[in-house]
Structure 1
């Protein structure tokens, strides 16, 4: 059966709810054209197991929808799916709208911290274009930040995006948030896996799901982990997602008065009980879990605040 032309599970403001219009995307970025072929339904598409094709698609999406004219990432760095990343932004924007008569506040007075901004810097790019927010992007990978800075410079975004190197692998907010600095939101897509081996096994499953020359591709790769890119810090850390988020929650208490909403993606539903226990230990005043889905992929945002409603409005 031919698939539906809509992605109704995405956020209502997400501009990617319709199936990709490859004619328009190729008009926006001719570099995508060589990768567009007819699929088994007779529709234009790309081979999503081809990292170069996925990157070309991202470049076209960024040009067509977000007026990002220059975007590139080094080989073997994470190439993010833009519709899902956009969903995260729109859902956390709704958190701010609660105290603004249901209207999402826009403009550079809204400051957002992206923990683990990466070489792709996708959240600041989408957030500055969709809501005109101002971003700080932090990462422990200096090479990733160098690439992100090139994107900032090439698109004349230095007035709204500031990049900071996190010098401590054991810290999340400490060393990044400055004294007296305030943010409306923090966001994070934490490392998913707990080890290199776990990351490689996860990538193997993804290749099988794509069902595209799996055995041949894996046999030709020194490390099958890097299917769509992803450096070590992007894919895994000791203790995986659960441990990383536990550190984030613990440190958030230290900056309780400097941010309205702390948020993070949680990919593994099994990690939610430990996340809630950690939030209870730091006495978070309000905790919200927002379910998200994109196709067969399910994830959720966990958001918490230490401020009451009047403090949030005053902030």
Structure 2
């Protein structure tokens, strides 16, 4: 299924380019095109790295007046998805009132294309410091800035992989409005090779440099390091952002941000059949005050489960609420944080609700045998992350009282239903029939 309809609403590529018109001004595209005269259709060989490079160069030249030189042994960026990221940064800045005056961005790992600074400078007049640690990619990035006459807007510097943000801020001696990053997905070359083996050979043909694809600990470790550095830099960068290649990376990174009490927001970047995920956080701004729409929000209906206790007195209502809290915190060992009147965020690091019945039976057996009962925690499912997060909401009026559990995040949505079943079993005596 094509995800183009979920692109950023201002993305000019929501409708695919007209390849016939594009090839008229970019003749090198023709060798990668196939025309079906009978059906009057055009197909393009997106699986060929040289074809992808030709298309990227053509779109940048036609739509942004940019000329770039892209080596085939480095990542060839797709313009529509990179534009999605730039447009999202525009939205973040606008929501926080940061578009007036000079806007300075820091691009961590700009790559050979230096595409984000080039797009930001040409489209919006932003200033950039772009860092790149790979020697060859660094030289290509510098050349691409120079050939477009943007040296007054973009400074390309050598990056420091051990201190990606701190070194750039200290060496430049300036504060930044935002930073961008598109870190390597894979933790090791062996993981990269394994993932490539799942695809047909033609989809694994691009010989991307290891520096573009692999980093120690993968993108979670890379962005995790950025989060730690942001605590030291504080508002020297007002908004920190990154584009992630794996949805599974969101959970541990969001857990880390929660633990540091940092405000953050997320989004999805869609192009063709490819999805990427955006993560932004700040040490000085409350990004939750101006929530931005999620492109895929309409795809999934909110998952929530009500528990109705029927008509209850004020005293009983308080007792039920306290009992629910006790079950979540004491028995299930979940973290419960108040988010407002009648609303709590609940997080679980383990699937403790699955082991409660077994633990009670084991405790009863030990008591019968005269053995000492030893507390046991459930087996962690996601090291360093939550397996389930949900909101606990009080639903009450003059006649009825109840609570509702609303899915927020986690490994499986089914886990929320399992927690609801657990609570209903333990609260059966007060649930309305």
TM-score range, shorter chain: 0.7 to 0.9
1:232 paired residue number: 210
1:266 correspondence with 2:260: no
- Deviation at 1:119? 0.4
1:113 paired residue number: 106
Check conservation: 1:112, 1:133, Cα contact below 8 A.
yes
Structure 1 CA distance for aligned equivalents of residues 103 and 71 of structure 2: 30
2:63 paired residue number: 65
- Deviation at 1:41? 6.1
1:98 paired residue number: 95
- Deviation at 1:54? 0.8
Structure 1 CA distance for aligned equivalents of residues 60 and 33 of structure 2: 17
Check conservation: 1:29, 1:59, Cα contact below 8 A.
no
Look up the SS of the partner of 1:176 in the other structure.
helix
Look up the SS of the partner of 2:12 in the other structure.
coil
Normalization by structure 2: what TM-score?
A: 0.62
2:54 paired residue number: 56
CA RMSD of aligned residues (A): 2.5
1:305 correspondence with 2:282: yes
Structure 1 CA distance for aligned equivalents of residues 116 and 198 of structure 2: 26
Q: Deviations over 1:151-192 (max 9, x none)?
A: 1111111111110102x3322112111275111110111110
Change (3 A) 1:134 1:116: same
1:173 paired residue number: 165
Normalization by structure 1: what TM-score?
A: 0.83
Change (3 A) 1:41 1:149: farther
Check conservation: 2:175, 2:237, Cα contact below 8 A.
yes
- Deviation at 1:202? 2.4
| Aligned partner (choices 179, 190, 199) of residue 192 of structure 2 | 199
Structure 2 CA distance for aligned equivalents of residues 299 and 106 of structure 1: 29
Change (3 A) 1:64 1:283: same
| Aligned partner (choices 134, 137, 160) of residue 127 of structure 2 | 134
Moved over 4 A (4+): 39-42
Change (3 A) 1:60 1:195: same
Change (3 A) 1:180 1:163: closer
Check conservation: 2:230, 2:283, Cα contact below 8 A.
no
Structure 2 CA distance for aligned equivalents of residues 279 and 41 of structure 1: 52
Where in structure 2 are there 5+ consecutive unaligned residues?
Answer: 290-433
More strand per residue: 2
Between Structure 1 and Structure 2, whose CA radius of gyration is higher? 2
Where in structure 1 are there 5+ consecutive unaligned residues?
Answer: 209-213, 219-223
